[in-house]
């Protein structure tokens, strides 16, 4: 046993071994690790992935380009990710909907059915699936600058047909959402 202790003292102590291993690890892996961190940070600043867990949209995974946060980058039929500001969901919840109307488009309604530039975009329900009374969006007229009308093809979607959502302000936009699958 005494011989083993002498061998250990002749060799590096545990502390010295750990320091040497740490130094070798850093020399070997620090640069690739930092490169990954920098790339992920850059990706996170400009892009994101979003999962759709509801049945309101036909796709389940979306690529979000955060740079496309101006209304000028969007057109009817595009998907947009935005921060929810109405009730029902927590404020700031990321939501994805289809762009149905942009500034200058004209919104009209007949009873509970909405039209944008004469094209039907959906009929508002009186009650949610949970039995909550849904107030219809009172807006009619030209969509003002910095606002848009959003929808989905699903009858139970909480979108611009309802007062809770209403028109979406450009300040709420996170980015353009592109379906992956």
pLDDT tens-place string over residues 10-41: 555 677 766 776 677 667 776 776 666 556 55
The tally of domains found in the chain comes to 2
Range of the domain at 156: 52-179
Which of 66-80, 99-113, 139-153 bottoms out in mean pLDDT, i.e. has the lowest? 66-80
Residue whose C-alpha is closest to residue 101's, from 81, 87, 115, 85? 115
CB-based contact 176:76 (threshold 8 Å): no
Residues 87 and 115 in one domain: yes
pLDDT value of residue 43: 62
CB-based contact 155:125 (threshold 8 Å): yes
pLDDT value of residue 69: 54
DSSP, collapsed to helix, strand or coil, labels residue 112 as coil
pTM, two decimal places = 0.76
44: DSSP letter: H
* Cβ contacts of 131 within 8 Å, gap of 6 or more: none
Position 2 confidence tier, pLDDT thresholds 50, 70, 90: very low
pLDDT value of residue 95: 94
Position 46 confidence tier, pLDDT thresholds 50, 70, 90: confident
User: Does the structure show a pLDDT above 50 at 6?
Assistant: no
Residues 102 and 23 in one domain: no
Residues 31 and 87 in one domain: no
Residues 76 and 139 in one domain: yes
Domain harbouring 88, CATH code: 2.10.109.10
């Amino acid at each position: 046993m005494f011989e083993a202790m002498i061998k250990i003292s002749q060799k590096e102590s545990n502390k010295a071994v750990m320091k040497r291993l740490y130094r070798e690890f850093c020399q070997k892996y620090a640069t690739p690790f930092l490169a990954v961190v920098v790339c992920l940070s850059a990706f996170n600043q400009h892009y994101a992935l979003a999962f759709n867990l509801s049945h309101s949209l036909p796709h389940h995974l979306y690529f979000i380009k955060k740079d496309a946060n101006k209304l000028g980058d969007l057109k009817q039929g595009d998907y947009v990710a935005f921060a929810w500001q109405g009730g029902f969901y927590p404020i700031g919840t990321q939501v994805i909907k289809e762009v149905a109307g942009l500034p200058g488009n004209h919104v009209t309604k007949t009873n509970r059915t909405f039209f944008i530039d004469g094209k039907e975009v959906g009929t508002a329900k009186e009650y949610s699936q949970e039995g909550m009374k849904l107030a219809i969006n009172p807006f009619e007229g030209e969509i003002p600058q910095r606002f848009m009308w959003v929808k989905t093809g699903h009858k139970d979607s909480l979108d611009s047909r309802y007062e809770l959502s209403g028109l979406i302000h450009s300040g709420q936009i996170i980015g353009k959402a592109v379906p992956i699958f």
